[in-house]
Chains A and B, each alone.
Chain A
Amino acid sequence: AQTVTQSQPEMSVQEAETVTLSCTYDTSESDYYLFWYKQPPSRQMILVIRQEAYKQQNATENRFSVNFQKAAKSFSLKISDSQLGDAAMYFCAYRNYGGSQGNLIFGKGTKLSVKP
């Protein structure tokens, strides 16, 4: 069974600085998807960024980028120029490419605080 591990329960960053959130996963599959979700205090889950495992190029969405290391099964999220609105829980998630498995497997989350 696949697992997702986020080893940092809490992180803190100064406004305008850069922070990296770690995520590792375990799978025997070669094709899969990885995601980062943001959950602000409103509790809504918001998709931040996604990565297809077959793509070598790291995904980027504005201030958010990932460092995808397939061999190491690592998928970290970098937030540049941190803003107060980035404060939230961040969840790393894994999903198989095909078959009947359409569901996401989530890590336990990292709580990010942004200091003004």
Chain B
Amino acid sequence: DAGVIQSPRHEVTEMGQEVTLRCKPISGHNSLFWYRQTMMRGLELLIYFNNNVPIDDSGMPEDRFSAKMPNASFSTLKIQPSEPRDSAVYFCASSPSRRATIGQFFGPGTRLTVL
């Protein structure tokens, strides 16, 4: 079991550039979550999908952020245009079901730095 895979692990970009973060959930998991972690705000849920359908995107900070899940094995989080305040660690997590008792499996995260 490869676990949740995220790429890239580190991303450094300049303000105004487009950033795309990628996630491959664990095979068979039908819920996928995107989180952002900063020192100031801790861990925040941005959006989550169930069976590839966005269920709750109320955590998406603004229109610059968008997320897609075109199929069960792939999701993207895009920031366009990026700003320095977007610098954070972005986690993707998956679980077998919305009602799973086993918690969520997290990927290693993508550390984003926007200069």
Chain A residues with a Cβ under 8 A of chain B: 33, 35, 37, 42-47, 50, 52, 91, 93, 95, 97-98, 100-109
Interface band, chain B? 20 to 34
Is residue B89 contacting chain A, with contact meaning CB distance below 8 A? yes
Chain B residues closer than 8 Å to A46, beta-carbon distance: 106
Binds A, one of B18-26, B66-74, B76-84, B92-100: B92-100
A43, A45, A93, A104 — which one has the most chain B CB atoms within 10 A of its CB? A45
Q: B39 to chain A: closest CB distance in Å?
A: 10
Chain A residues closer than 8 Å to B98, beta-carbon distance: 100-102
Chain A residues closer than 8 Å to B109, beta-carbon distance: 43-45
Q: How many A-B residue pairs have CB under 8 A?
A: 60
Q: A33 to chain B: closest CB distance in Å?
A: 6
Chain B residues closer than 8 Å to A37, beta-carbon distance: 103, 106
Chain A residues closer than 8 Å to B105, beta-carbon distance: 47
One of A45, A102, A104 near B99 (C-beta < 8 A): A102
A-B contact pairs, 23 of them (CB 8 A): A43-B108, A43-B111, A44-B107, A45-B91, A45-B109, A46-B106, A50-B102, A91-B43, A93-B103, A95-B103, A97-B99, A101-B56, A102-B31, A102-B50, A102-B98, A102-B99, A103-B48, A104-B33, A104-B103, A105-B45, A106-B43, A108-B42, A109-B42
